[in-house]
Amino acid sequence: MTVAERFHQPSVLPGFGLTFGFTTFFLSALVLLPLAALVVMAGSMHAADFLRVVGSARALGAYRLSFGASFLAAGINLVFGFVIAWSLVRYEFPARKLVDALIDMPFALPTAVSGIALTTVFAQNGWIGRYLALAGIQVAYTWIGVTVALTLIGMPFMVRTLQPALAEVQRDLEDAAETLGAGRLYVLRRIILPTVLPAMLTGFTLAFARAVGEYGSVIFIAGNLPMKTEITPLLIVIHLQEFDYRGAAALGLVMLVMSFIVLLTINLIHSWGRRRLVATAR
Amino acid sequence: MSITLDQVTKRYQGSTVVNDVSLDIGDGEFFVLLGPSGSGKSTLLRAIAGLTGVDHGRISLHGRDVTHVAARGRGVGLVFQNYALFRHMTVADNIEFALRVRRMRASARRARRNELLRLVALEGMDDRLPAQLSGGQQQRVAVARALAHKPEVLLLDEPFGALDAKIREELRRTIREVQRELGITTLLVTHDQEEAFALADRIGIMNLGRLLEMGRPDDLYARPATRFVATFLGAANLLLARQSARGLCFGTDPVIVPRSESAQHVREHEVVAVLRPEEIELAPARDALLCAYITEGTVGEILFSGALQRLRVRLHDAALGAHVLRSDEAGEEPFLEVTRTQHEQRVFPLAPGQSVTLGVRRLHVLPTPLSSFTVCAPSEELAQSLARQPLLTELAARMKTRIAVQVEAQLGTAPGAGEPLAPGGEDSSLMGAAVIAARNGAVQSVGWLLQRGAEQVLILPEQALAPRRVLIHWVDESVRRATLAVSASLLRHVSAEAVYVGILPQDGTLNARRPLGMRALLDARSEAQAVHGFDMRTELRFGEASGELAARLADSPAQLLVLGISDPADLERQFASLVNNPGWPLLIVYEPGDATRVRTRPRAADLLRLA
């Protein structure tokens, strides 16, 4: 099969050529070209300079915080997003619609607003922060604060991905498992979780990707101490403010590569799992 | 008994989905619950499985009361319509699910799995995923999975619903074989009568949450007790007929002559007769009939359906046509449905428009006392408006019966103080239940109607609602039988709970009479259950009957009172305030107390000899 033939698949839907053309155009103009520019700009640096910027202790600390906190936040969302989605799908309670609408708030709010709000609440004299301080836990201006902000930002991704998947889990399956002697926990572990696992992975991926790129809400609550609470996007902005465009591009490239590797890995796990679940005809 | 249900009731959002169902299913029996969708049969099945609670009543499995035991402790196997297989597990994992939950050793699990796969003829499919199997195969896996933990009872909820005809038949056979081989008590729920006939040792038929009748398939088909079962189980023509000392007549000539001497004393009354389409014979002339003659007709449409030919025959005699009961297609000319075998078609070929003579080989009279409704009012206009009363039309539609209209000027006369209305002529005796509007002076009207031969009088207020509760009371024990029979007939067609109200006078002898009152309650309940197959609550109240009943009726809206009396004078003496303009529907059942007028309602067996 030649390349040309491969693009000439007979299809019930007309207009494949047109839509494919648009797809490639938009992907190129909006995603691929800017990314290429980033690579070119970073590539125009001397290797030594590049390594100095990218490998500096400050940068390494920022990577660790960015990816670590994002991973942790997505993990927290995996658990609590599941609980929220579960209660929204499965139970009827007063103001359920209201709670359902609140889930989307982090989507709509300018991230800076969320950041300010979180800082107000979690600062040492804030509503929650003052009690946490008594227990010796400081949230604002530490990595914990960063994680809290990223959890908030990622939560709707998790809940909205899981909701339809959970709604699709047939009650009959649970009923069947129950008549076969399974307890609630066993049903959750062996029936419900495996069924919604793909959706959970997708939600995790989305929440993680969003958290890695998050900037606005974090910079208020993080305190931005170099090496400690400084995230990579902020470090890039600092480089930009010093007119060090190449340095910023270099850091951006590193984030790009690392994000790509993480997302690709998750997607591979995902499709491996799908192959196991959905049968291919023999 | 493997499955015992005792007065199981389930309500959902105010309506009663399962209404006082009592049922015993024996060891190793294959019982099929048959009913239209929404009849409560699936809810009942889920209640037995423990997936839904009950509001009232008890459920026992093998003598163990499991009413409050969770599903996983009940030891039942359940098969769903949509298979409900775990799609992320292989066939083997699905079947072994119950064994894994019970932490059985792997080798024992494998042995059991192989045994089950052999049983449902799916050997070697262990490693497939459900998505790789056809619908029929998936349902086999579901059956194997439900049997893995050796349940004492197998429950099947419309298991063939999603399959096509051929596979359905094959799977049906498999399930029957598996059931026989294991000797497991099985309860299957379906809306498909063919399925029920093919599988069942016994069938129970549900409608509106009630278990109407149960019995062997052939018995139920040949001798249904209710209109619903007669028409739901196979096709049936329902006809109103007059039963009298001369026999059973549709028109003027008796179709059936009484066989026994006892039938000679039968007072003329209306009955509902069931004519199965295959029991009607068509012939070119009356002489050519091999069985009892009914009437003449014209062949309407003819449908070919494989082995049988289905015809509609319009009746020439309009008066007789009016006796054919149809709930649907109101405007159409009355017709009888007839089916003929290939042989009959060859002997007497027919074309639409041809005139034929109809005869009947066998017919069955329903033992139901409520045959039809006759609205009685002083003017045509009032009668017509009463005949359109929503509760009445709803009842008539559900009972698949008709509402006749009779103008009785006598009913309009203003009632003098205790003065009886002029008696009507003997020739125009009333048929079916008389219906009158609620108004002051209704007591006199009722007395007059009872004299005219009415056995039931329904007093209907304009705004009467469909009853949620039916109160039953009789003045003395001699009318118990008649009142219970009418109540049973009514309760089969409304979704209401039944309450028998026993009333003892509150006087010096109360303590002495209390045990008797209790016994009367128990007798009433056991007769309702044994003879009519319906369950009712019982209440004992103390005081004056009319006042106590009025107080009970004032409790909540949407109630109906069935009142049994043996002496019309009782009405005016005791119940005048209750009967005159009641705010609720009131059904009066009259059975003369004196022995000379005792009438026996002939059983079907008495009618089998055809004229």
Predicted confidence (pLDDT) per residue in B161-180, tens digit: 878 888 889 899 999 999 99
Q: Which residues of B touch A174 (CB under 8 A)?
A: none
Give the residue among B439, B490, B438, B442 at the shortest CA–CA distance from B469: B490
Contacts of B130 (CB under 8 A, 6+ apart): B83, B85, B86, B87, B89, B91, B94, B138, B141
Other beta carbons within 10 angstroms of residue B142's beta carbon come to: 26
Q: Could you tell me the two tokens for A233? A: 């996007």
Task: Establish if A172 touches chain B: CB-CB under 8 angstroms.
Answer: yes
Q: How confident is the model at residue B600 (pLDDT cuts 50, 70, 90)?
A: very low
Subunit contact A181:B98, Cβ cutoff 8 A: yes
Strands B292-305 and B355-360: antiparallel
Residue with more model confidence, B197 or B452: B197
Q: Inform me whether the C-beta atom of residue A183 falls under 8 Å from chain B C-beta atoms.
A: yes
Phi and psi at B223, nearest 5°, equal -130, 65
Report the DSSP pairing between strands B497-504 and B469-474: parallel
Residue with tokens 């006809």: B239
CA distance A187 to A182: 6
Establish if A272 touches chain B: CB-CB under 8 angstroms: no
* Tokens describing residue B45: 């099945």
B149 has a chain A CB within 8 A of its CB: yes
Closest partner CB to A279 (pick from B49, B101, B131): B131
- Structural tokens at position A269: 């796990």
Predicted pLDDT of residue B599: 44
- Percent of chain B scoring above 70 in pLDDT: 91
Q: What share of chain A is helix, strand, coil (3-state, %, to 5)?
A: 80, 0, 20
- Per-residue model confidence (pLDDT) at position B338: 93
What are the residue ranges of helices labelled H in B457-575? 480-491, 510-527, 545-554, 568-574
**Lowest mean per-residue pLDDT among B135-144, B199-208, B252-261:** B252-261
Confidence of residue B597 (pLDDT cuts 50, 70, 90): very low
Query: Is A180 in contact with A238 (CB distance < 8 Å)?
Result: no
- Residues A146 and A234 sit within 8 Å (Cβ to Cβ): no
CB contact under 8 A, B84 and A178: no
Q: What is the pLDDT of residue B31?
A: 96
> Contact A181/B51, CB-based, under 8 Å?
no
Compute the distance between CA of residue B611 and CA of residue B607 in angstroms, rounded to an integer: 10
CB contact under 8 A, A172 and B84: yes
Whole-number pLDDT of residue B261:
53
* pLDDT tens per residue, range B434-483: 898 888 878 888 888 888 888 899 998 888 888 889 999 998 888 888 89
| Mean per-residue pLDDT, B269-276 | 87
Highest mean pLDDT: which of B101-110, B360-369, B427-436, B583-592?
A: B101-110
List, in sequence order, every beta strand (DSSP E) within B400-552: 403-407, 433-437, 456-460, 469-474, 497-504, 537-542
User: Model's pTM, two decimal places?
Assistant: 0.79
Q: Would you call B505 helix, strand, or coil by DSSP?
A: coil
Strands in B433-437's sheet, in edge-to-edge order, are: B403-407, B373-377, B433-437, B456-460, B586-590, B559-565, B469-474, B497-504, B537-542
Listed as ranges, residues in chain A with pLDDT below 70 are: 1-12, 274-282
Give the per-residue pLDDT at B424: 46
Q: How far is A172 from chain B (nearest CA, A)?
A: 6
Whether residue B183 contacts residue B106, with contact meaning beta carbons closer than 8 Å, is answered with no
Q: Is A192 in the B-facing interface, judged by CB distances under 8 Å?
A: no
Band (B427; pLDDT cuts 50, 70, 90): very low
Whether the per-residue pLDDT at B52 is higher than 50: the answer is yes
pLDDT of residue B114: 93
CA dist A201 and A262 (Å) reads: 12
pLDDT on residue B567: 84
What is the predicted pLDDT for the residue at B185? 95
pLDDT of residue B190: 94
Does the predicted interface ipTM exceed a cut of 0.90? Answer: no
**Residue B435 identity (one-letter amino acid):** V
**Do B86 and A282 count as a contact with CB atoms less than 8 A apart?**
no
Average pLDDT of the residues in B112-134: 90
Which pLDDT score is estimated for B332?
Answer: 65
Would an 8 Å CB–CB cutoff place A188 in contact with chain B? no
* Terminal alpha carbon distance of chain A: 24
Query: For residue A160, which of A223, A213, A203 has the smallest C-alpha distance?
Result: A203
CB nearest to B51's CB, from A173, A175, A182: A175
The single-letter code of the amino acid at A206 is L
Give phi and psi for B421, each to the nearest 5: -75, 155
N- to C-terminal Cα separation, chain B? 45
